[in-house]
Amino acid sequence: MTLIQTPASASAGRASSGPAASVAATSVPASPALAPPPLPEARGEISAAVRARLLGAGPDRLPRPADVARSAPYGEDLHLALHLCYELHYRGFADVPDTLEWDADLLRVRALLEHRFESALRHDCRELPPVDEALAELLLEPRDGEGVSHFLMSEGESWQLREYAALRSVAQLREADPHLWVVPRLNGRAKAAMMAIQYDEYGCGHAERMHARLYADLMADLGLDPSYGRYVDAVGAEVLAASNLMSFLGLHRRLRGALVGHFAVLETTSPPAAARIATALRRTGAGAAAERYYDEHVEADAVHEQVVRREVVGGLLDEEPGLAPDIAFGIAATQLVEDRVGSTVVDAWARGRSALRGPL
């Protein structure tokens, strides 16, 4: 397990060979395809215009403020357009020039899309509890056992586990990357603790243990294509919105507190959900690699949760107490978008339908 090292365990590691030596001696299997993914298909006029710009069309075809203002803030068109804009800051797309990452016209459109999305989130998350109360509520399991992980544990079938893996691959194949953007914006305890957790997320210096790599192995075990961005066309707006929220919070320094709140939600709620999904994977005979990803999160994130609450959130509030409302907003917004994913997926499965937009 890749857990945060205590002083004793760190000393033991140095006594044997040290991180540099162990990394150099490790034979790392080939990573999933590193080639940029193909451009997803458009889902409306706004995403079609952004897609056209990426393929070489002039800026005059990009959407105007009035076009974006009329769009659904949680809809397919807006969130695919945002995904197209954000992906330029990750791996980009095949046949799209890297120079478009900082294209002024695309950035202008991205700002319009973000404003539409953020305005809806602010409206829907306008009643915010104190940070301590919000964090405490994350530790409470729902009494009625609702949610995707409960469904998968109790009655999930192999095809539903495969669908869920495909749905989550949009974010999990770049696991931890959006949260790294907050590191230069933190200080002291918060920064040190954030980096300690991220060291785990990136495999403690071992590429084959990186959580994104473990997720790719899970997908391969389930008979899915682990290529980065492979299933974007198959997922709905709810999944894209959850993924986009991370990038939105990460790319704006003014939202550093909200990104810490987002991170706290993921690390706090991960262990019990991961345990349920691991149970479902064993019950359906998914395979060792599939189980390993969730087993890792059961143990590692239980440690991370304590560090996030006490050191990352606590340290940030000690340094910048005025960010408390932003942290609370990040928690509420994350819960909102994740609940939308969960309710959409479970509703589809309960009706015996696929939760995807098209076949795997």
Within-domain flag for 359: no
Is the distance from CB of 337 to CB of 238 less than 8 angstroms?
A: yes
pLDDT of residue 192: 97
DSSP 62: S
Let me know if residue 162 belongs to a domain.
yes
Instruction: Find, among 228, 197, 199, 205, the residue nearest to 215 by Cα.
Output: 228
* Cα separation, 203 vs 211, whole angstroms: 7
Tally of domains in the chain: 2
The SS3 assignment for 232 reads helix
Same domain, 275 and 158: yes
Residues 162 and 52 in one domain: no
- 259 CA to centre of own chain: 11
- Looking at the fold, whether 94 and 207 belong to one and the same domain comes out as no
Could you tell me if residue 305 is inside a domain? yes
CATH number of residue 177's parent domain: 1.20.910.10
Residues 275 and 196 reside in one and the same domain: yes
Domain region containing 55: 45-124
Domain co-membership, 214 together with 330: yes
Are residues 75 and 205 part of one domain?
no
Does a structural domain hold residue 4?
no
Looking at the fold, whether 345 and 283 belong to one and the same domain comes out as yes
Whose structure tokens read 């991180």?
19
What would the DSSP string read from start to end of 110-148?
Answer: HHHHHHHHHHHHHHHT-S---HHHHHHHHTPPPTT--SH
Q: How many helices (H) and strands (E) does the chain have?
A: 17, 0
The b/e string for 277-292 (b: 16+ C-beta within 10 A; e otherwise) is bbbbbebbebbebbbb
Q: Are residues 96 and 155 in the same domain?
A: no
Domain boundary among 75, 107, 124: 124
The answer as to whether 82 is a domain residue is: yes
Same-domain pairing of 138 and 260? yes
313 within a domain of the structure (yes/no): yes
Buried b (16+ CB within 10 A) or exposed e, 217-243: bbbebbebebbbbbbbbbbbbbbbbbb
- Contact predicate 122/73, CB 8 Å: no
- Tell me, yes or no, whether 233 and 290 share the same domain: yes
pTM greater than the 0.85 cutoff:
yes
**Residue type at 168 in one-letter notation:** R
Q: Please indicate, yes or no, if residue 22 is contained in any of the structural domains.
A: no
Determine, yes or no, domain membership for 277: yes
Q: Name the domain boundary from 109, 124, 139.
A: 124
Dist. CA 160–CA 169, nearest whole Å: 14
Cα–Cα nearest to 117, from 301, 257, 248 = 248
Where among 124, 143, 171 does a domain terminate?
Answer: 124
pLDDT in tens, 93-152: 999 999 999 999 999 999 999 999 999 999 999 999 999 999 999 988 765 667 999 999
Do residues 224 and 255 share a domain? yes
Each of the 360 residues of the chain gets a pLDDT tens digit; together they read 333 333 333 333 333 333 333 333 333 444 445 689 999 999 999 999 999 999 999 999 999 999 999 999 999 999 999 999 999 999 999 999 999 999 999 999 999 999 999 999 999 999 999 999 999 999 887 656 679 999 999 999 999 999 999 999 999 999 999 999 999 999 999 999 999 999 999 999 999 999 999 999 999 999 999 999 999 999 999 999 999 999 999 999 999 999 999 999 999 998 899 999 999 999 999 989 889 999 888 877 678 888 999 999 999 999 999 999 999 999 999 999 999 999 999 999 999 999 999 988
Question: Are 190 and 337 within one domain?
Answer: yes
Please name the residues in contact with 332: beta carbons below 8 A apart, sequence gap of 6 or more: 125, 128, 134, 261
The contacts found for 120-123 with CB under 8 angstroms, 24 or more apart, are: 120/73, 120/74, 121/245, 121/329, 121/333, 121/336, 122/329
